[in-house]
Chains A and B, each alone.
Chain A
Amino acid sequence: MNQLDKELLQIKTKVEEMWTLVDFQLTSGKEALLSSDEELARRVIKSGKKVNAYDIKIDRMCENIFALFNPVAIDLRWVLAILKINSNLERIGDYAESIASMLKEATPPIEPTLLEESRLLKMFEATEAMLRDVRQAFLEENTELARQVIKQDKRLNKIHAKTDKVLMQYFQTNPDNIYQSLKVAGIIRKLERIGDHTTNIAEEIVFYVDAKVVKHKQKKKRNKDKE
């Protein structure tokens, strides 16, 4: 293994550590939702600082690679992709942190009918699955799996698109629980954004492994789907 490979491996290790932390933030958010565990929500919020530190560290490590090793070809694509994956992971961490804050404010447990009708849990599960799959795709450099993740985002978009209508109906029948339903709407919106960032990561994996740019094509498709 040459020096560049060693340096790239160190970055990959840092990205994996950051990913573990972001995974924890998202899965704990769901756990906090189900168990009404305020302490867990607090831990999610606290771990945001660690995620930010990883973000800065990985940025700096990539900067050094550019300055000292002049990467080309797959190495160049990998470092470029890592910069974007890092930034997307950091955003996912931010959203997970924000979800934890909203959960705290929503004074759980969330009313069961609201939970059921908003499909919040399904949204959480789908988001978790996407993040899990994209991580596997990253570790295995599996672009087929990455492309599947991109498709999975449609599912989140569909749930999100129906949120307003579903919650309007809920407001009408449960006017005394508007506060919780507003929080649920906010959480769903953030989960949808997590889905978008996860998709971005999947697109970066396709870029660095196959040297193919799929991001604009997918965004065009997504916009069409939303229309």
Chain B
Amino acid sequence: MNSVETKDVHLYYGDFHALKGITMAMRKNQVTAFIGPSGCGKSTYLRCFNRMNDLIDGVKIEGDILIDGVDIYKTNIQVDDLRKHVGMVFQKPNPFPKSIFENVAYGLRVNGTKDKQFIEERVERSLQQAALWDEVKDKLKKSAFELSGGQQQRLCIARALAIEPSVLLMDEPASALDPLSTAKIEELIHQLKENYTIVIVTHNMQQAGRVSDHTAFFYLGELVEYAKTKTIFTNPKDQRTQNYITGRFG
């Protein structure tokens, strides 16, 4: 079953044609990695899935983008509702200037949840899912900024999970972390895919190989190749994919 599906998606930044007819489907409870050189459109495409490009001046999007079968660019779709279904984790950990607890509870409170016990249970569960609970359970009221970079990133993941999205988008989630924190995030991705559909943008080829089930290679706004990760890294069909993953691009 497909969780995210796009049909002939074109995106323009003014005159610049950034995405050129992307048609692909990301399966439910699987990890899909987007790879490609800087400026190839992979992050732009990822941001389409929670309508983060909407606020950029001059952006025009054509084609269909469906999350769990619903076209998210239909006029009657509220972006706030969409983002309850599609969580996002960014390259740099961006905790709010609040306590650890309040960072995770933030999405619930914004969505109007007032039940204290419910919030406490959801915060604990989200922190456990993000493999952070054991490290922070005794200092939930401390500032999120007291955590290490790796812990802050897992806190951001817990924050995204608290609203129980079905899709989790990750834009280079480990590129600012040390190898140990990276390994924790990668292990977390493996665990999270049992409950979530994950789409990850990464510049780290080995990371794409380690964490994803399918990999898509983008180049100059085009989807060049999309296949099982094992196939992409052992026997890619397109010469451009091979050149990129073997470091012989250009």
* Range, interface on chain A: 10 to 19
Interface residues of B in 200-250 (CB under 8 A from A): 205-206, 209, 233-236, 241-242, 245-248
Among A2, A74, A77: residue with most chain B CB under 10 A:
A74
A2 cross-chain contacts in B, Cβ below 8 A: 247-248
**Interface 0/1 of B180-213, CB less than 8 Å to A:** 0000000000000000000000000110010000
Interface residues of A in 65-81 (CB under 8 A from B): 70-77
The answer to whether A211 and B234 have CB atoms under 8 Å apart is yes
Say yes or no for A34: interface residue by CB 8 A criterion.
Answer: no
A76 cross-chain contacts in B, Cβ below 8 A: 233-234
The answer to whether B246 and A73 have CB atoms under 8 Å apart is yes
Say yes or no for A161: interface residue by CB 8 A criterion.
Answer: no
B242 cross-chain contacts in A, Cβ below 8 A: 73-74
* Range, interface on chain B: 10 to 19
Pick the residue among B209, B241, B246 that contacts A75 (CB under 8 A). B246
Pick the residue among B205, B234, B236, B241 that contacts A70 (CB under 8 A). B205
The CA-CA distance from A74 to B235 in the complex, in Å, is 7
Interface residues of A in 1-23 (CB under 8 A from B): 2, 4-5
The answer to whether A73 and B206 have CB atoms under 8 Å apart is no
| Interface residues, chain A, with chain B CB atoms under 8 Å away | 2, 4-5, 70-77, 211
| Interface residues, chain B, with chain A CB atoms under 8 Å away | 205-206, 209, 233-236, 241-242, 245-248
Given contacts A70-B205, A72-B205, A73-B246, 19 further A-B contacts (CB under 8 A): A2-B248, A4-B246, A4-B247, A5-B248, A70-B206, A71-B246, A72-B234, A72-B245, A72-B246, A73-B233, A73-B235, A73-B236, A73-B241, A73-B242, A74-B242, A74-B246, A76-B233, A76-B234, A77-B235
